[in-house]
Amino acid sequence: MPENASTISVLFAAAEADPFAKVGGLGDVAGALPVALQKLSEQAGRPRLDVRVVIPFHPVIRNKGFTPELVAEVLVSSISGDQKAQIYTQTINNVPVYLIDGEPVQKISPVYSSNNAVDAEKYVFFCQAALQMLLKLNWIPDVINANDWHTAPMIYALSLLKKGSASHPLKKVHTVFTIHNLPFMGAGAEKWMAHYHLPPAETQQIPRWGVHHPLPLGILTADKIVTVSPTYAQEIMTPAFGCGLEKFLQSRQQDVKGILNGLDEELWNPQTDTHIAQPFSAATISTRQKNKTELLKEFNLDPDPQRPLLILISRMDQQKGVDLAVKAARLIADEDWQMILLGTGDPTLEEDCRQLEKEYPDRVRAAIRFDASLSRRMYAGGDMLLMPSRYEPCGLAQMISMRYGCVPVARATGGLKDSIHQTLTMQHGTGFLFKPATESALARALRKALQIYQNPQLWQQIQLNGMAVNFSWATPALEYANLYQQLLKERNE
């Protein structure tokens, strides 16, 4: 038990955490949420939170110049003998971060390779080492919050330890598992699960194939399951989004909660953004137009600011509905607009975008690359962001877009539905939503947006509504803190 009974201690486990390692959205979450949780402790009347993060000491972290302190060494048992793991630590933004090193971590250089079977050696080793670390440091948290398949084995391994010994020192550790993207289950990890003594689960609660994969095992054995938006929490209980786990998730309905991610409002601030031609705020929104003119010039498009500028900033992936955006553009070719698409990924989708540029050389540009600075200039200069995702657990681009006065036109799914507000007259709206995942539904939504764009006063109101939304991490942090508190109360009753 913690020294102070009103302290809740949490180990937040992830594959990546900003600023040490950031490849995708999880890095943002693991960087920002623990800091926001720690800040809650400053609020009177709330339990103190002792939140610590654990990630692998990826080679890329050392290459970035981080020099955390070595605090312990532990042994990880495998079928071919014990392996050493070194525990380092560095405190950033008031949050202690543990970095776990060892041969399997060193062996696999990128945070994620494209092969789960390869990555699993690093991650299963990491999960087992993290549990050993808690014992060695004698820091027994109240809660372990793991994230996605890479850290799911930590929850599964803990459940096996508890089952094996009623007096295990970790027996009082409760678990939360956050799903950021359900389809990534860690298939291919079986060999390394077995190598580090994690046999398939003997259960019929999840489908047969699931007993071999980390993510279903994490879901199976976690006390609480979180998804990164309330709508996605509902969606994953249906066959269309549940990836075969919907029945099990339905059976755990009481334990599933959706908490919408926040946005780093300092990192994404149009007032202080040094990448954009004209920084602006809601009070100076009329100056925003300079960003649009500069962007149009940069792409050799017509610099007339009256013509609506549609943008798309996305991984080129089936999930993101880039194909729908390309087809919808053709369907609304009779309207007046210009478009810039930024993204990289699936070569077929990249080619679709290039093809659209070829068809409409006077008004479409395809920038097929990853370009963070350009993305900022686009958010600051675009009028509408297209986000026709087939599924979207949370989504960041629509939040950034609103904050930068660019109005999202998005599919009503997952976090898009939860963060974008459409109203009848749009006086209080922040964006446009459409339901079916078809190009014609997107085209209809775009026509509506283009029509409202003709009313500059109303359009500006929508922009200001979006800019006024509070996406700070303080809100989700409070929800996570309440969840931890509820979990401890339930289990200790």
375 binds ligand ADP (CB under 6 A): yes
Q: How many residues does the chain have?
A: 493
Residue 7 burial by CB count (10 A; 0-12/13-18/19+): exposed, middle or buried?
middle
3-state secondary structure 32-90: HHHHHHHHHCCCCCCCEEEEEEEEECCHHHHHCCCCCEEEEEEEEEECCEEEEEEEEEE
Indicate the residue whose CB is closest to ligand ADP: 396
| Stretch touching ligand ADP by CB under 6 A, among 111-119, 151-159, 311-319, 321-329 | 311-319
Could you say which residues in the range 93-112 bind ligand ADP, by CB under 6 A?
A: none
116 binds ligand ADP (CB under 6 A): no
Tell the smallest beta-carbon distance from residue 91 to ligand ADP (Å).
Answer: 27
The per-residue DSSP string of 242-271 comes to STT-HHHHHHTGGGEEE------TTTS-TT
Q: Are 240 and 427 in contact (CB under 8 A)?
A: no
Among 130, 173, 397, 487, interactor with ligand ADP by CB under 6 A: 397
> What CA–CA distance (Å, rounded) separates 95 from 49?
11
Tell the smallest beta-carbon distance from residue 264 to ligand ADP (Å).
Answer: 10
Task: Give the CA distances from residue 246 to residues 1, 99, 252, 350, 359, in Å, rounded to whole numbers and listed in that order.
Answer: 35, 34, 10, 32, 42
Residue 266 burial by CB count (10 A; 0-12/13-18/19+): exposed, middle or buried?
exposed
| Stretch touching ligand ADP by CB under 6 A, among 63-71, 133-141, 392-400, 423-431 | 392-400
Please say which residue, 295 or 342, places its beta carbon nearer to ligand ADP.
Answer: 342
- 257 in a known ligand binding site: no
Q: Are 307 and 362 in contact (CB under 8 A)?
A: no
Per-residue binding letters, 398-417, with ligand ADP (x by CB under 6 A): --x-----------------
Please say which residue, 10 or 313, places its beta carbon nearer to ligand ADP.
Answer: 313
Tell the smallest beta-carbon distance from residue 343 to ligand ADP (Å).
Answer: 5
Please say which residue, 121 or 264, places its beta carbon nearer to ligand ADP.
Answer: 264
Tell the smallest beta-carbon distance from residue 263 to ligand ADP (Å).
Answer: 9
3-state secondary structure 438-480: CHHHHHHHHHHHHHHHCCHHHHHHHHHHHHHCCCCCHHHHHHH
| Stretch touching ligand ADP by CB under 6 A, among 6-14, 70-78, 94-102, 396-404 | 396-404
Q: Is 429 helix (H, G, I), strand (E, B) or coil?
A: coil
Q: Is 226 helix (H, G, I), strand (E, B) or coil?
A: strand
Per-residue binding letters, 341-360, with ligand ADP (x by CB under 6 A): -xxx----------------
Tell the smallest beta-carbon distance from residue 376 to ligand ADP (Å).
Answer: 8
Tell the smallest beta-carbon distance from residue 132 to ligand ADP (Å).
Answer: 32
Q: Are 135 and 202 in contact (CB under 8 A)?
A: no
- For 198, the enclosing helix (H) or strand (E) is none
Please say which residue, 173 or 384, places its beta carbon nearer to ligand ADP.
Answer: 384
Please say which residue, 113 or 250, places its beta carbon nearer to ligand ADP.
Answer: 113
| Stretch touching ligand ADP by CB under 6 A, among 94-102, 171-179, 370-378, 466-474 | 370-378
Residue type for position 58: H
| Stretch touching ligand ADP by CB under 6 A, among 67-75, 215-223, 366-374, 434-442 | 366-374
372 binds ligand ADP (CB under 6 A): yes
Report the sign of the C-alpha dihedral through residues 100, 106, 108, 109, in that order: positive
25 binds ligand ADP (CB under 6 A): yes
395 binds ligand ADP (CB under 6 A): yes
Tell the smallest beta-carbon distance from residue 28 to ligand ADP (Å).
Answer: 8
Nearest to 243 by CA among 184, 322, 156: 184
> What CA–CA distance (Å, rounded) separates 80 from 92?
36
Residues interacting with ligand ADP, by CB under 6 A?
24-25, 313-315, 342-344, 370-372, 375, 395-397, 400
Going by the annotation, the residues of the binding site for ADP-alpha-D-glucose are 22
